Amino acid sequence: MASIEELSDDALLVMYANGDRDAARVLTLRLTPRVFNHALRLLGDRAEAEDVAQEAMLRLWRIAPDWQQDQAKVTTWLYRVVANLCTDRLRKARPVALDAVEEPVDEASGPVEKMQDRIRAQALQRALSDLPERQRQVVVLRNIEGLSNPEIAEIMEISVEAVESLNARGRRRLAASLSDKREELGYVDAH
């Protein structure tokens, strides 16, 4: 018999709606890091990302009794909620200073490669913050979260062609933005 940790998000959500507390715990531990990190990448602000993550999960709890297992994946639905919440905040918020972009916590110090990866990730995060909001969402979902173009199209409620276009433009802009930092990112031989 499968343990509760092995159950799908859909199944756990149904169990949650029926009052199962373990299902709530497993879903929280499984989905919160993903939701939080996605919000953090879109917003570049830890406190805002925490608020968005809490609100997105609250909306998930609310919809649980009415969840239809054949409508969408839970994660797809969550990405869409996070995207909408982040969009609302970005439109209301003041521009974030580049220095204020949150630096991820690094628990493992040591190898030079890891330090290099940290520097690259931070530089990328800063460059992402300069992208227009829709491009940023697509670029993050496609290139960091690893979702397919059709999935992103469903999340953002746009066509697959629009996803491809936004991704291509976003990547070009990121490349232009980061190109003068290649050396500090460890790409001295990249040309």
Partner 1 sequence: MSTHTEDTKDIWLDECFAAARQDTTAAPDDLITKILADAGTMQQEFATQSLVATPVRAGLFARVSQALGGWPSITGLATASLAGVWIGMSAPAGLEGVTQALVGAEAVIDVVDQYYQAEFELAGDL
- Among 7, 11, 14, 46, the residue binding partner 1 under the rule CB under 8 A is 46
Using the rule CB under 8 A, give the single segment among 23-31, 70-78, 90-98, 129-137 that binds partner 1.
23-31
Which x/- pattern, by CB under 8 A, does the window 61-100 give for partner 1? xx-xx-----------------------------------
**In whole angstroms, what is the distance from residue 70 CA to residue 1 CA?**
24
Is position 10 an interface residue for partner 1 (rule: CB under 8 A)? no
**In whole angstroms, what is the distance from residue 59 CA to residue 79 CA?**
12
Is position 143 an interface residue for partner 1 (rule: CB under 8 A)? yes
**Residue 60 and residue 10 in contact, taking contact as beta carbons nearer than 8 Å:** no
- Among 7, 11, 14, 25, the residue binding partner 1 under the rule CB under 8 A is 25
- Among 95, 110, 111, 146, the residue binding partner 1 under the rule CB under 8 A is 146
Is position 4 an interface residue for partner 1 (rule: CB under 8 A)? no
Is position 155 an interface residue for partner 1 (rule: CB under 8 A)? no
H helices present in the chain, as ranges: 9-17, 21-43, 46-63, 74-92, 112-129, 133-139, 149-156, 160-179
What is the rounded end-to-end Cα distance, in angstroms, of the chain? 55
For residue 30, give Cα distances in angstroms to 26, 36, 55, 61, 164.
6, 11, 16, 14, 29
Determine the residue type at 22.
Answer: D
| Positions that interact with partner 1 (CB under 8 A) | 16-17, 19, 21, 24-25, 27-29, 32-33, 36-37, 40-41, 46, 50, 53-54, 57-58, 61-62, 64-65, 102, 104-107, 116-118, 120-125, 142-144, 146, 167-168, 171-172, 174-175, 178, 182, 185, 187, 190
